[in-house]
Amino acid sequence: MITNKLKKVSLKSTFQRENILEYIISRKEHPTADMIYQYMLTISPCISKTTVYNTVKSLNKTNLIKSIKFLGKDEIRYDGTVDAHHHFLCEKCGRIYDIEIQCQHFKKENIDGHKINNVYAYFTGICKECKK
Amino acid sequence: MITNKLKKVSLKSTFQRENILEYIISRKEHPTADMIYQYMLTISPCISKTTVYNTVKSLNKTNLIKSIKFLGKDEIRYDGTVDAHHHFLCEKCGRIYDIEIQCQHFKKENIDGHKINNVYAYFTGICKECKK
DNA sequence: TACCAAGTTGTAATGATTACAAACAAACTA
DNA sequence: TAGTTTGTTTGTAATCATTACAACTTGGTA
């Protein structure tokens, strides 16, 4: 439950936070800050965009959500699925799919002498819907 | 030779283009637009930043260079090495290293029914220099 | 219930990138 | 080699996502 997730990471439970987190997790669209803002306006007409940015920053820092960024797109997208996975971005419709592949490099701790902390990867192409 | 590279992709050969391309290829720093601009100022004091942006866009479109973008950094970096490879970003010093690993997904043409055109990936952590 | 640290709001600033129009130059043609 | 055309460069102004900041408000503890 959403409130517990916030409690677990010591974030105060507010209407804005609960609904923003719920929105990101339940919809699978990997929304942008503006999409979150547009949705929040419908249930909280006075919300500020700054609140959206503050909130996703907190949620991201406490690992309740993840951020993703694609080349050529200048906005950050937010992902409520936090376990290791990749993404697929459709070049035609812009939809973003979660990709559950396991890469052999995912668990490496060292490459070329560098200590690895994080792995980011995504694919682009034409999605199965657009191929039809 | 730089001039030939431009000819091959039917880009007119200009002082600005040759030097910007040469700079990106010869230095291995994966420079930002501003780094390129600062360098170009030293050999062409009247160059415009717009020229830098126009040029990297052309070079990128014709595959003479590649663009890279990292989460949390809001600038694009340019890479003169165009064959398939990944990157490592040091979280401490910001240096970017080319990573020559071959991923098993690199040559896949289909994942989950989506047609794959491109693969982007990078690692972050502490580089071997900063570990010392 | 009162208090205070933390959260929210609105406005203004930032900074990378793009739009646009005028001036200019590369390279082809005669 | 000069003229022409088309693509390039330049500078300024605009854009747009995101952040800074300061005043106001609220959650949750004592």
Establish how many alpha carbons lie within 13 A of residue B132's alpha carbon, considering only the half-sphere containing its beta carbon.
4
Domain housing A102: 83-131
Q: Are A66 and A98 part of one and the same domain?
A: no
| Cross-strand partners of B123 | A119, B88
| pLDDT under 50: residue ranges of chain A | none
The confidence score (pLDDT) of residue B102 equals 72
Q: Rounded distance, CA B129 to CA B111, Å? A: 37
Alpha helices in chain B, H assignment, sequence order: 2-8, 15-26, 33-43, 49-61, 128-131
Instruction: Assign B70 a pLDDT band (cuts: 50, 70, 90).
Output: very high
**Could you say which of B76, B114, B121 has the minimum Cβ distance to residue A97?**
B114
Closest CA to A69 of B59, B76, B64, B103: B76
The confidence score (pLDDT) of residue B106 equals 72
Residue written as tokens 């491109």?
B118
Within the 45-74 window of chain A, which residues sit less than 8 Å (CB to CB) from chain B?
67-72
Q: Are B110 and B56 part of one and the same domain?
A: no
B98 Cβ contact list (under 8 Å, min separation 6):
B28, B79, B81, B85, B86, B87, B88
The confidence score (pLDDT) of residue B130 equals 97
Say if strands A114-126 and A86-90 run parallel, antiparallel, or are unpaired. parallel
Q: Are A12 and A73 part of one and the same domain?
A: yes
CATH number for B87: 3.30.1490.190
The verdict on a CB contact (< 8 Å) between A125 and B116 is: yes
Q: Can you read off the two tokens belonging to residue B52?
A: 């830098």
Q: Rounded distance, CA B127 to CA B130, Å? A: 5
Q: What end-to-end distance do the CA atoms of chain A give, in Å?
A: 38
Write out pLDDT tens, residues B38-58: 999 999 999 999 999 999 999
CATH number for B36: 1.10.10.10
The per-residue pLDDT of chain A, averaged, comes to 95
Q: Can you read off the two tokens belonging to residue A46?
A: 């006075």
Q: Which residues of B touch A30 (CB under 8 A)?
A: none
Which positions in strand C are less than 7 Å from the protein's CB atoms?
A: 6-11, 15-20, 25-27
The per-residue pLDDT of chain B, averaged, comes to 94
Q: Are B73 and B87 part of one and the same domain?
A: no
